[in-house]
Structure 1
Amino acid sequence: MKIILITLSLFACSFSVVPARILSHGNGPEPVVIDKSQLQLVGQAQLSVLFWDIYQSRLYTSSGRFSRNEQPLLFEINYQRDISRKELVSATLEQWQHLDIPASDYQQYLPYLKALWPDISNGDTLTLFSDGSGSAFYFNGRYLGKIRDEKFAGLFLDIWLSPRTSRPGIRKALLGISP
Structure 2
Amino acid sequence: MPSTTRPLRLRRVHPAAAFLLAVTVAAWWPATVQATTPEPTARAALQDKQVLGNSRLRVWGFEVYDASLWASPGFDAKGYEQHRFGLELNYLRSFKGRDIAERSMDEMRGIAAITPEQATRWLAAMSALFPDVQRGDRITGVHVPGSGARFYLNGRLRGELADEDFSRLFFGIWLSPKTSQPAMRATLIQAAAAAPRTP
Same fold (TM over 0.5): yes
2:57 to 47, 51, 61: 47
What residue ranges of structure 1 are gaps of 5+ in the alignment? 1-11, 24-29
1:152 to 166, 169, 181: 166
Q: CA–CA distance in 1 between the matches of 2:117 and 2:188?
A: 24
1:129 corresponds to 2:142: yes
Q: By how many angstroms is 1:83 displaced?
A: 0.8
- Count of residue correspondences: 161
2:186 to 153, 172, 179: 172
Q: By how many angstroms is 1:18 displaced?
A: 5.8
When residues 169 and 38 of structure 1 are mapped into structure 2, their CA distance, relative to the original with a 3 A threshold, is same
Aligned 8 A contact 1:84 1:120 in 2: yes
Under a length normalisation based on structure 2, what TM-score does the superposition of the two structures give?
0.70
When residues 43 and 50 of structure 1 are mapped into structure 2, their CA distance, relative to the original with a 3 A threshold, is same
1:83 to 73, 95, 100: 95
**In the alignment, residue 159 of structure 1 is paired with which amino acid?**
I
Largest Rg, 1 or 2: 1
2:71 to 61, 64, 77: 61
Q: CA–CA distance in 1 between the matches of 2:52 and 2:83?
A: 13
What residue ranges of structure 2 are gaps of 5+ in the alignment? 1-17, 31-36, 195-199
**In the alignment, residue 67 of structure 2 is paired with which amino acid?**
S
**In the alignment, residue 22 of structure 2 is paired with which amino acid?**
S
Q: Which has the higher contact order (CA 8 A, sep 6+)?
A: 2
Q: CA–CA distance in 1 between the matches of 2:116 and 2:53?
A: 31
CA offsets 1:129-166 (integer angstroms, 9 cap, x no match): 12222211111112111111222221101111121211
State the superposition RMSD in angstroms.
Answer: 2.6
Q: By how many angstroms is 1:61 displaced?
A: 1.5
CA offsets 1:94-116 (integer angstroms, 9 cap, x no match): 21233352334741211111111
Aligned 8 A contact 1:159 1:165 in 2: yes
When residues 61 and 17 of structure 1 are mapped into structure 2, their CA distance, relative to the original with a 3 A threshold, is same
When residues 64 and 127 of structure 1 are mapped into structure 2, their CA distance, relative to the original with a 3 A threshold, is farther
When residues 15 and 87 of structure 1 are mapped into structure 2, their CA distance, relative to the original with a 3 A threshold, is closer
Q: By how many angstroms is 1:17 displaced?
A: 4.5
Structure 1 counterpart SS, 2:56: strand
Q: By how many angstroms is 1:16 displaced?
A: 1.8
Q: By how many angstroms is 1:174 displaced?
A: 1.4
**Identical pairs, percent:** 29
Match of 2:128 in 1: 115
CA offsets 1:71-129 (integer angstroms, 9 cap, x no match): 32111111100111121112112212333523347412111111111001111101111
Structure 2 counterpart SS, 1:75: strand
Q: CA–CA distance in 2 between the matches of 1:98 and 1:153?
A: 15
Which shows bigger deviation, 99-108 or 121-130? 99-108
Query: In proportion to residue count, which structure has more helix?
Result: 1
